[in-house]
Structure 1
Amino acid sequence: MRFTDGYWQLLPGVSVLRPQEVESHEFDGQRLVLYAPTARITKRGDTLNRPVVTVTVTSPAEGVLGVRIEHHRGRLPRYPAFELTTDPDVEVRCEEGEGWVSLSSGPLTARFATDGGWACDFLEGDRVLTSSSGRSIGLVTDGEGRHFVHEQLGLSVGEQLFGMGERFAPFVRNGQSVDLWNSDGGTSSDQAYKNVPFYLSDRGYGVFVDHPERVSFEVGTEVVSRTQFSVEGEHLQYYVVAGPTPADVLDRYTRLTGRPGAVPDWSYGLWLSTSFTTSYDEQTVTSFVDGMAERDLPLSVFHFDCFWMRQFHWCDFVWDPATFPDPTGMLQRLRDKGLRISAWINPYIAQRSALFEEGREFGYLLRTTDGDVWQWDMWQAGMALVDFTNPDAVEWYSSKLKTLLDQGVDAFKTDFGERIPTEGVRWHNGGDPERMHNWYAQAYNKAVHDLLVRERGETEAVLFARSATAGGQQFPVHWGGDCESTFVSMAESLRGGLSLGLSGFGYWSHDIGGFEGTPDPAVFKRWVAFGLLSSHSRLHGSSSYRVPWAFDEEAVDVTRQFTRLKMSLMPYLRRLGAEATERGLPVMRAMLLEHPGDRTARGLDTQYMLGDSLLVAPVLDAAGDVEYYLPAGTWTHLLTGERRQGPGWIAERHGFDSLPLYVREGAVLPRGARTDRPDYDHVDGLTLEVRELAVGAETTVRVPTADGDATWVVSRDTDGIRVVATGTDKPWRVVQIGPAGTVTAEAPAVGATEARLP
């Protein structure tokens, strides 16, 4: 939101109060409180009729500093609030010098001027990360009498910002005005399903604005040298998160807002959907599943989209008897084929649903301020909204889903959750409707995720969620939403996924081939390669099926090739999933995360790192033309063994069976023994592929197992390659990959703890 007309003037009707100096400050051992009047105080009379800005600085965790800016402090707390994991024993240091006072936590310091005008520098060591200067803080009143608080943090020369959730606009946020407000706007606009009030700077710090309601960002727009963020009300709370690397920032940020949850191995396999408005019954579903098997296409999950329920009844969680007369038997027949089952749901209860009256009677549905059930006719006739702030409503909704779990469903696609009203409604817990709008997705996904964990008795669970906000990473997986079936939309989907990964989310997926419309064969085949080199892979559409043979026979071959490739990478992907849970690092990583020192790589949005070792550049062109960038080092193409030297740009043409897919210099890639499914013993028969390991180099390969971690320390000396294994007694081998992908040396080690290659 903008408040100024250019740099010097305010918009009509707008007035702004700004802190002019620090009049005094206090430190109680944990908090530094600064009192900043809105005019210079030169005599006692200046203290009369004078607003004061109160700025409180705290540290919720090592390397994180919180800043709370307040005008009138007597307002009642507003709920809901983000649930943060704080450290009550965090050590802080308060220091004073001539003309300044500071508070530090770990490597991060906030230093305030106590002489002269308002000024605050955030430093990591001696390096200034960003600053709040004389015109940065504003207590705003607009022409309608509404109050806002804004902060403006400085942008350095060449600094780039990323994140703010899954955004489909240009990847670098600079120059954008961004309102964080969950919306069902597809992937082709500046609206987003997943809005996260957090941005990450390529200078190695992050900023988290601790407000679930609408947060408005002006990134180098209202003031080109600053990032402004504002909220309505009388206070603003934000946190500065230290690095020094972008990966370190995500580690600290997700420690504060929640680590990405762990997902089961089977979820990494290929998912196939009925699609949305297509016509299908059990015979159709069986033909798809059998068709995949007949074509030797590994399939892990079958997904039933909306019309598994009767029309106008969504959601009543009752299978349509006309198309699925024996749902329990059908699901068992699919499970007998080795499949897991996913079912579409949403939190909306149609008036015709049998659950509507039940929810109305017991108060489980959102009410208006007059006490009526809130309803409208969008999506489903007369639909209402489950009130997840009511614990009884959560239990009621969960009990309906439990029936589906008992029938054989394994996962839920938690669709929608964005169209949440703010006018004339009253939540069960008295939550502020503005704050509930974005936060509703958190409550919805948490309820479903908690049910899966509770009923399965495991810590791993998987959703296919569309909406989210800060902390939503705890309830994976999230997918990109409704995209068109074009190369342009494929690119915008990738931008959204990389942006979400830089917002603390560990896993991400998208509709292979696009959702709206029917992709031509070229789009489908290129998207298949991209989709199967994503953390999660689903074939899904709107009005047409997405079985590969619906496009051409080559699409079948491409799907088979890349599905089997992904299955062979499961030991590697499983480790990436563990890193998401442990450190908040996404499986699909923007180049910035793995190459923070490479200025060219930082803002790239048409390629990514799949973990730390693989570079992927999806082909976004029907003819197969692609241009991509390789950072410094020797890179080896995973499929062909061709070696290229970076840094530099490369332009080339690929067939449908290929794309730029490179292994990083010095990486040892673990490959599994199976290519038909993801849920196998990833250690049994493991192959360690060694490429370009320099003399004197050492790397550790880790593969999570049910009993802990199996690890291999791989090093190279003048005598060759040495591998030392711990944590496994299964057979494994190490191979050295030479030019053209050939194996130049190998050493089998059946139950051995050590192997050598010349």
Structure 2
Amino acid sequence: MISFSKQNGRLSVFYNQLKILEHSDSCPLITLKQGKETVDMYRGNYFIEDETITTLPLGSYLLSESYSEGRGVSTLTFSAGQTSFSLELSERDGRLHLRCSPLPAPYNRLALRLFATEQECVWGCGEQFSHFNLRGKNYPLWTQEQGVGRNKQTEITRTADRLDRAGGDYHTTFYPQPTFVSSRRYFVHADTYGYADFDFSNPGCHQLEFWDVPAGIVISVKPTLLEVVQDISRLLGRQQYLPSWVYDGIILGMQGGTQTCLEKLEKMQNASVKVAALWLQDWEGEKYTSFGKRLRWNWQWDRQLYPGLDREIVRLREEGVRVLGYINPYVLVDHPLYEEALRLDLLGKRVDGSVYLVDFGEFDAAIVDFTKPEAVAWYKEVIKRELIGFGLSGWMADFGEYLPTDVVLAGGKDAMLEHNRWPGYWAEVNKAAIEECGKSDEILFFMRAGCVQSLASCPMMWAGDQNVDWSEDDGLPSVLTATLSLAMSGMGLNHSDIGGYTTLYGMKRSKELLIRWAEQAAFSPLMRTHEGNRPKDNWQFDSDQETIEAIARMTDVHVQLKPYLMHLVAENADQGIPVIRPIFLHYELESFMSVKDSYLLGRDLLVAPVLEAGANSVVVTLPDDEWVHLFTKVEYHGGRHCIEAPLLRPPVFYRKASSFASLFSSIQ
């Protein structure tokens, strides 16, 4: 129910008795701005500046009531002089809907203030790697490379900025989403793909600035935070069930050719490692740059590097091992798929009509224009023919965040508005190709770039290119923050490269980091390794026998959890409850609302991974319940505990009253 209150010159708007909006002359709800942006993109890193030309706070207001389609509509018209702007408020499907009027000339920015309290916590905005509780900072919502290090105070980030403009910051992300959840038990979602900035730094308000007026803004108030999160995906879409084979072992990332990969597989299987699949990212060929080993972006089997792979895929599948590949939404210049797309006029262009070639780091590739139906149809056929037809059981659907803002797209669509939408287009292409082949129950793809469309179109996210280190902003700890942020945005399925990926500026993956990362991954919906961009610099899953045995041990635990994980994935698909979830979704206490170093895997497992090098214990705060250590079987009550955590015995606890207690108790 929508209600209004006018007191002491302030207008307050309530929904279901919760104050949502507040307006006064000194703190107007609506401010119009005229701005002029400059956008500079370098290899997926964006540098955006906005010059404010004019700012107009709208102090006066008029409230009117009407009816439309049998519903009551309240209209708030704000004005200053001859300039006005309207908000229509209505209730639909148990949510508050705001509809904005067009911006009056010459204004092209809309700033909307929501009521806030000083103690309020805020989560979401897609995938955020540095901060889980977003209060106190602003978040530009723009898909791009996450950046190296992602903290301007660290030497790694400063080096990446100095050498390659690639350092990133606390807010840079592959997956922004204009959706947030408040600890006051509501969510806000803005229906826009334009550049936005959500500022949570003011104690008394949240200011949302849009460069494209949202088609609508939806606000949902619920009795609990769990119900709030469920309602996000009820509105925006939910991920599907995963293929059954995903839970049957680890997906080993390897490369280098048929013989090399088969030898690695044999080595792991001889050590009793349960292998669900081989992920061969270089199945289409190799390309080397100063960054390290890259891939040849022509999505066709490289027969020279992988002779006989077509036969091996069939044989391995009969033995229970799938083979996965790699693809992204670009095509490498002067290669067969590029030539075919060029001939069919399916590529993004420059103003002069030439093909827009993007610098991806010492090589150029063209953009398949997904705003053109013929290009979508063509790329689906490429996936059907070259990947599905070849026998792959899945792939990494990489990139999606690079769309330049000056590319000319079909039908004159503005690339500045299409940029944040692009990962959704890319997800839809992959999903549709699989569905049209009737393979949804068999094939898995996973992406790093995302947008709101990803909830309905991408079955699995992965956290992108973490450093091979322990850093809070871009190492192992950031994976937890990213997953929890996605969970609060409605996306319930995420995983990461075991051991991280980015190997630069002296960083090298250690044996300890790889094993600790595998411990965390065992308590996630999917286990998958990656060699990193400089494999020879990194400790790998088969670097010594002790590491192989550690991988085997944690994979065994993961496989034993299959019935529980399948239950959680079904909960996510059917009820919108994320697989990995913040503790406060079930124990709604202020003390848990900023916790990002432990999480619940479903309702019944609490996981507190070791996130520091050399640590042999973890301090864990357990909710008020009866808990049993998964490995030692020692029982604990709620409260703060220092738990010993030697390698291969991460602090994981199951709820004694769980219906899966017998399964958990059987894990030794």
| Residue 232 of structure 1, aligned match among 189, 204, 211 | 211
The letter for the 2-side match of 1:239 is V
8 Å contact kept, 2:617–2:646: no
- Aligned with 2:100 (options 69, 72, 80): 69
Q: How does 1:98-497 map to 2 (within 5 A)?
A: 147-186=108-147, 188-189=149-150, 190=170, 191-219=172-200, 221=201, 223-233=202-212, 237-275=216-254, 280-306=256-282, 308-311=284-287, 314-379=296-361, 381-403=363-385, 404-423=387-406, 425-458=407-440, 461-474=443-456, 475-488=458-471, 489-497=475-483
Q: Which amino acid aligns with 1:658?
A: R
Q: Residues 682-727 of structure 1, C-alpha deviation per residue, up to 9 Å, x if partnerless?
A: xxxxx5568xxxxxxxxxxxxxxxxxxxxxxxxxxxxxxxxxxxxx
Aligned partners of 2:284 and 2:297 also within 8 Å = no
1:52 maps to 2:84: yes
Cα distance in structure 2, aligned partners of 1:653 and 1:200: 35
One-letter code of the match for 2:65?
H
Contact 2:393 2:442 in 1 (8 A): no
1:24 deviates by: 2.9
Which residue type is aligned with residue 224 of structure 1? P
After superposition, the Cα gap between the structure-2 partners of 1:379 and 1:185, relative to the gap in structure 1 and judged at 3 Å, is: same
Q: Does 1:15 align with 2:51?
A: no
Aligned to 2:14: none
Task: Return the alpha-carbon distance in structure 2 between the equivalents of residues 235 and 328 of structure 1.
Answer: 48
Matched, 1:559 2:545: no
The separation in 2 between residues aligned to 1:429 and 1:454, in whole angstroms, is 26
State the alpha-carbon separation in 2 of the partners of residues 151 and 471 from structure 1. 24
> Residue 634 in 1 paired to residue 626 in 2?
yes
Distance in 2 separating the partners of 1:459 and 1:289? 25
Matching residue within 57, 66, 80 for 1:26: 66
- CA apart distance, 1:146: 5.2
**Offset at 1:547?**
8.3
1:12 offset after TM fit, Å? 7.3
Q: Distance in 2 between matches of 1:19 and 1:393?
A: 48
Matched with 2:162 is: none
Corresponding residue of 1:539: 529
Cα separation, 2, equivalents of 1:323 and 1:510: 27
SS at match of 1:224: coil
Is 2:650 the partner of 1:669? no
Contact 1:595–1:602 under 8 Å retained in 2:
no
Partners of 2:190 and 2:214 within 8 A in 1? no
Aligned position for 1:683: none
Q: Determine the structure 1 residue equivalent to 2:40.
A: none
Distance 1:440 1:159 in 2: 33
Q: Mean Cα displacement is larger for which, 494-503 or 263-272?
A: 263-272
TM-score (normalizing by structure 1) = 0.73
> What is the DSSP-based 3-state SS (H/G/I as helix, E as strand, rest coil) of the residue aligned with 1:511?
coil
Distance 1:215 1:306, change over 3 A: farther
Q: Distance in 2 between matches of 1:460 and 1:260?
A: 15
Give, in angstroms, the shift of residue 503 of structure 1. Answer: 0.9
The structure with higher relative contact order (CA 8 Å, sep 6+) is 2
Kept in 1, the 8 Å contact 2:621–2:640? The answer is yes
Aligned to 1:710: none
SS in 2 for 1:615: strand
Amino acid in the other structure paired with 2:142: W
Mapped to 2, the partners of 1:558 and 1:327 lie a distance apart of 29
With over 3 angstroms needed to count, the CA separation of the structure-2 counterparts of 1:689 and 1:526, relative to structure 1, is closer
- Partner amino acid for 1:523? L
Please, what is the CA RMSD of the aligned residues?
2.6
Mapped to 2, the partners of 1:317 and 1:457 lie a distance apart of 19
Unaligned runs of 5+ in 1: 1-5, 40-48, 74-140, 671-686, 691-736, 743-758
- Give me the whole-angstrom Cα distance separating, in 1, the residues matched to 2:329 and 2:82: 49
Identity %: 24
* Separation of aligned partners in 2, 1:306 and 1:58: 52
1:57 Cα deviation (Å)? Answer: 1.8
- Report the equivalent of 1:616: 607
Say whether the 8 Å CA contact 1:179–1:215 is kept in structure 2.
yes
On the 8 A contact 2:242/2:569 being kept in 1, the answer is: yes
- Secondary structure of the 2:71 match is coil
* TM-score, length of structure 2 as denominator length: 0.82
Displacement after TM superposition at 1:377 (Å): 2.8
Residue 594 of structure 1: CA displacement? 1.9
Question: Which amino acid counterpart does residue 567 of structure 1 have in structure 2?
Answer: V
Question: 1:269–1:536: 8 Å Cα contact kept in structure 2?
Answer: no
- The range that moved more, 13-22 or 598-607, is 13-22
Looking at structure 1, the residues matched to 369 and 52 of structure 2 have their Cα atoms a distance apart, in angstroms, of: 40
Q: Which has the larger radius of gyration?
A: 1
SS at match of 2:400: coil
Q: Deviations over 1:10-36 (max 9, x none)?
A: 997432131522253322223514142
Cα-to-partner distance string for 1:308-365 (whole Å, 9 max, x where unaligned):
3254984322222321132312322332332111101111111121121221221211
Is the Cα–Cα contact under 8 Å of residues 64 and 252 in structure 1 kept in the other structure? no
Do the aligned partners of 1:350 and 1:380 also contact (CA within 8 Å) in 2?
Answer: no
Alignment deviations for residues 566-604 of structure 1 (CA, whole Å, 9 cap, x no partner): 1111111111111111122111111122212x2211210
2:115–2:205 contact (8 Å) kept in structure 1: yes
CA distance in 1, matches of 2:494, 2:596: 15
Q: Is the 8 A contact 1:273 1:305 kept in 2?
A: no
For 1:248, what is the secondary structure of its paired residue?
helix
**Separation in 2 of the partners of 1:481 and 1:200?**
23
Q: Which amino acid aligns with 2:509?
A: P
Correspondence for 1:674: none
SS in structure 2 at match of 1:376: strand
Amino acid at match of 2:64: S
Whole-angstrom CA distance in 2 between matches of 1:664 and 1:258? 30
